[in-house]
Amino acid sequence: MKTLGVLFFILVAGIGSATAQQNKAPQKPKVRPDVSKRVQEKGVAKVGVVLNGQWELDSKLSKEAALAQRQAIAAAQKSLMAGLAGTRFKAIWTSKIAPGMSLEVGPDALAVLEGSNLVKDVYLDEMVYRPGLMDSVPLIGGDLAWAANYDRTGQGMMVVDTGVDGQHTFRADLGYKFLQSRNSSQSRMLKKSSKVTGILQSRASR
């Protein structure tokens, strides 16, 4: 019995020692190095924030559990932004079903995120590559259509979008009809929609 008691003591002591070593192990920083570097260089960065907690996929939960989780996520987001008050930050986007949000932060706000128990991970959430028509047209097979001599003859096309620039030059081309078209060229969305419609009208250079 004495031997068993000694073995039990050694086992418990070993577990306690291992637990203590785990607690002393350095914690992984919440803010990723490239985020800190961007803020140091630019003074501000757009970041994605993953909230700390035991979350489940919304689709795997019952209706009641999903509602409760969404309320918990909203409460955590609100609490985090309250903690950021007085720092240089701007909320860009918050998810209603996922434990995440997108923020624009300065050095002081980044320090708050690093020290917050509500935060699990902070990563760069910036577009590093902006595709152009040379990239996007081949993705929809536009170059192949041009190569096959399709020139929209005898075909009708329709664009459902946010509107077009009423002063754009392609409106001079007969055969175009516009429903509830806006006449402002100031909107970024109108410029995008005008470009989409212009692509449909265009032909490859030969």
Q: How many domains does the chain have?
A: 2
What is the pTM (predicted TM-score) of this model?
Answer: 0.52
Same domain (yes/no): 61, 92: yes
**185 plus 117 within the same structural domain:** no
Judge whether 73 lies within some domain. yes
Identify the CATH number of the domain in which residue 75 sits. Answer: 3.30.70
Q: Is residue 139 included in any domain, yes or no?
A: yes
Q: Please identify, among 65, 95, 124, the residue that sits at the C-terminal boundary of a domain.
A: 124
Structure tokens belonging to residue 192: 């995008």
Instruction: Give the 3-state secondary structure of residue 175.
Output: coil
Enclosing domain of residue 91: 27-124
3-state SS string for 4-64? HHHHHHHHHHHHHHHHHHHHHCCCCCCECHHHHHHHHHHCCEEEEEEECCCCCCHHHCCHH
100-148 tens-digit pLDDT: 999 999 999 999 999 999 999 999 987 655 566 666 777 777 777 777 8
Tell me how far apart the alpha carbons of residues 36 and 114 are, in angstroms, rounded to a whole number.
10
Residues 84 and 144 in one domain: no
> 147 and 112 in one domain?
no
Instruction: Give the pLDDT confidence of 156-188 residue by residue, as tens digits.
Output: 777 676 666 655 555 545 445 555 555 444 455
